[in-house]
Structure 1
Amino acid sequence: MPELPEVEALAAFLRANAVGRVVARADLTALQALKTFDPPLSALSGLEVTGASRHGKFLDLDVSGLHLVVHLARAGWLHWRTGLPTAPPKPGKGPLALRLHLDDGNGFDLTEQGTRKGLAVYVVRTPADVPGIARLGPDALAVDRDALARLLAGRSGQLKGALTDQTLVAGIGNAYSDEILHAARLSPFKMADRLTDAELVGLYDAMRATLTDALERQVGQAAATLKAEKRSGLQVHARTGLPCPVCGDTVREVSFADTSLQYCPTCQTGGKPLADRRMSKLLR
């Protein structure tokens, strides 16, 4: 799933390549992806792209005061295209959900792989009209240490869930929460409201460092290279069975119904493995 660094990098890419161009037309091929009807998608045609920004994990293209807002969900992506074909794509064919044509013949495709469709597109007058944006907590790179302490103190539940709850802190998903907890040397199952002062400092510093490092590596990259750049910087996420680059222990995984997390026992759980079953608890 694209998270804060990737979405920010996509926004920067669009600022460099789309801002100043005029929308020629937008072709919707996956009807379920469009979540709004007023204004209609066709209202973007003939308007100039004036900005691109990010709200948590939402990408926001400002089109002369209207906003094309996209949530890429788990398997969505934006592909920049030069010399787009003029013929409209056929609805319901392949992973393509939406194609945006610009007046110079370039544009982008929004695609989504797999059978579980979560990619969402909104055309709104203000980003706050998107329910998911209206519910966002403070941005992960805007929250300060004291504010993070207050947010976690009022949160019952495990740290992994707290970091990925967009209403608590916006922008962090499955991958970077694994990376942040590994850098902070904290178990994903530690209770969010039971951090010591030292653990809170370590978590905050790890969050800032992990996200800032990813941003520095990705902003300025072409959209096509962002996924590979993200993978190249991961220490534990999606590295099950490989050695931890910090201590050499084997990276372990906990699987749930529709997702999984990765961690290093030596770095994060005092050498104790976490039970690899649904609704896992730390083995005692």
Structure 2
Amino acid sequence: MPELPEVEALAGFLREHAVGAVVGRVDVAAMSVLKTFDPPVTALQGRDVTGADRFGKFLALDCDGLWLVTHLSRAGWLRWSDSPSPNPPKPGKGPLALRVHLFTPTGDTPAFDLTEAGTKKRLAVWVVDDPQQVPGIARLGPDALAVTETEFAHILAGTNARIKTVLVDQSLLAGIGNAYSDEILHTARLSPFATAKSLKPEQVSALYAAMRDELADAVARSAGQDAARLKGEKRSGMAVHGRAGQTCPVCGDTVREVSFSERSFQYCPTCQTGGKILADRRMSRLLK
């Protein structure tokens, strides 16, 4: 799933390549992707692209006061084409959900596609007068790169949830998903199962610093990257996420995994849990 650094980079990419252009035809290949119908998506046509922004993990394109907002979900992505097909796509064919054609001041006619791999279609698009009209944006907590350490400590002190859960709860803290929460907890040397409310002040400070450092570093590495290369850039910077069975780059222990029904997280026992191997729910069920 694209998280804060990748969505920030995509917003930067659109600011560089799309701002100043005029929206042409908008092709909807999957009607289920549209979550609003008034204004209609056709209302974007003929409008100048005046900005691009990020709200948590939501990507938003400002078309002269009318916003095209998308949440890429787990398998969605934005793909840019300098020479798109002029023919409207066939509905329901392939990963394409929506295509926005553009006309630039130099006479070029690029387009960007919103695509989604797999069979579980969760990518969502809204056309709104104000991004706050998108329910998910209205519910967002403070942005993970904007929250102060005092605010962060207050968030942790107000819940008995595990810190892994707190970091990915968008109503508490906006922008962090499964991957970067793994990396943040590894850097902070904290167990994903530790209770937020029970953390000592020095642990809260370490977690806050790790969050800032991991996200800022990822944003810096992603800045200026072509949209097509951002996924590879994200994977290359990971120390534990997605690396179960591999060697921890800090201590040399084996990176472990805990699996749930639809997702999993990775951690290093030596760095994070005092050497304790956390119970893998999937394996526990198989052994019963």
Q: Which bracket does the TM-score occupy, shorter chain normalised?
A: over 0.9
Unaligned runs of 5+ in 2: none
**What is the 5 A alignment of 1:1-284?**
1-103=1-103, 104-277=108-281
Amino acid at match of 2:139: R
Seen in structure 2, the aligned counterparts of structure 1 residues 144 and 278 have a Cα distance that, compared at 3 Å, is farther
Q: How far apart, CA to CA, are the structure 1 residues paired with 2:226 and 2:151?
A: 34
Amino acid at match of 1:229: E
Amino acid at match of 1:58: F
Q: How far apart, CA to CA, are the structure 2 residues paired with 1:229 and 1:87?
A: 32
Amino acid at match of 2:20: G
Q: If the length of structure 1 is used for normalisation, what is the TM-score? A: 0.97
Seen in structure 2, the aligned counterparts of structure 1 residues 101 and 6 have a Cα distance that, compared at 3 Å, is same
CA contact (8 A) 1:96 1:111 kept: yes
> For 1:11-58, what per-residue CA distance to the aligned partner results, in whole angstroms no more than 9, with x for missing partners?
000000000000011101111111000100000000010000100000
3-state SS of paired residue (1:74): coil
Q: How far apart, CA to CA, are the structure 1 residues paired with 2:22 and 2:183?
A: 39
> For 1:105-128, what per-residue CA distance to the aligned partner results, in whole angstroms no more than 9, with x for missing partners?
101011000111110000000000
3-state SS of paired residue (2:211): helix
Q: How far apart, CA to CA, are the structure 2 residues paired with 1:158 and 1:122?
A: 32
> For 1:218-277, what per-residue CA distance to the aligned partner results, in whole angstroms no more than 9, with x for missing partners?
011110110000001000000000000000000000000110000000000000000001
Q: How far apart, CA to CA, are the structure 1 residues paired with 2:155 and 2:163?
A: 12
Aligned-pair CA distance for 1:279: 11
Q: How far apart, CA to CA, are the structure 1 residues paired with 2:51 and 2:86?
A: 25
Q: How far apart, CA to CA, are the structure 2 residues paired with 1:61 and 1:237?
A: 30
Q: How far apart, CA to CA, are the structure 2 residues paired with 1:194 and 1:140?
A: 21
CA contact (8 A) 1:256 1:279 kept: no
Moved over 6 A (4+): none
> For 1:195-215, what per-residue CA distance to the aligned partner results, in whole angstroms no more than 9, with x for missing partners?
101100100000000000000
Amino acid at match of 1:23: V
Q: How far apart, CA to CA, are the structure 1 residues paired with 2:46 and 2:216?
A: 37
Amino acid at match of 2:41: L
Q: How far apart, CA to CA, are the structure 1 residues paired with 2:55 and 2:197?
A: 26
Aligned-pair CA distance for 1:85: 1.1
Q: How far apart, CA to CA, are the structure 1 residues paired with 2:198 and 2:134?
A: 33
Seen in structure 2, the aligned counterparts of structure 1 residues 148 and 278 have a Cα distance that, compared at 3 Å, is farther
Q: How far apart, CA to CA, are the structure 1 residues paired with 2:128 and 2:217?
A: 32
Q: If the length of structure 2 is used for normalisation, what is the TM-score? A: 0.96
3-state SS of paired residue (1:220): coil
CA contact (8 A) 1:2 1:73 kept: yes
3-state SS of paired residue (2:179): helix
3-state SS of paired residue (2:248): coil
Number of aligned residue pairs = 280
- The CA RMSD measured in Å over matched residues stands at 1.0
Unaligned runs of 5+ in 1: none
Q: How far apart, CA to CA, are the structure 2 residues paired with 1:43 and 1:52?
A: 18
Amino acid at match of 1:82: D
3-state SS of paired residue (1:80): strand
Amino acid at match of 2:205: V
Aligned-pair CA distance for 1:84: 1.0
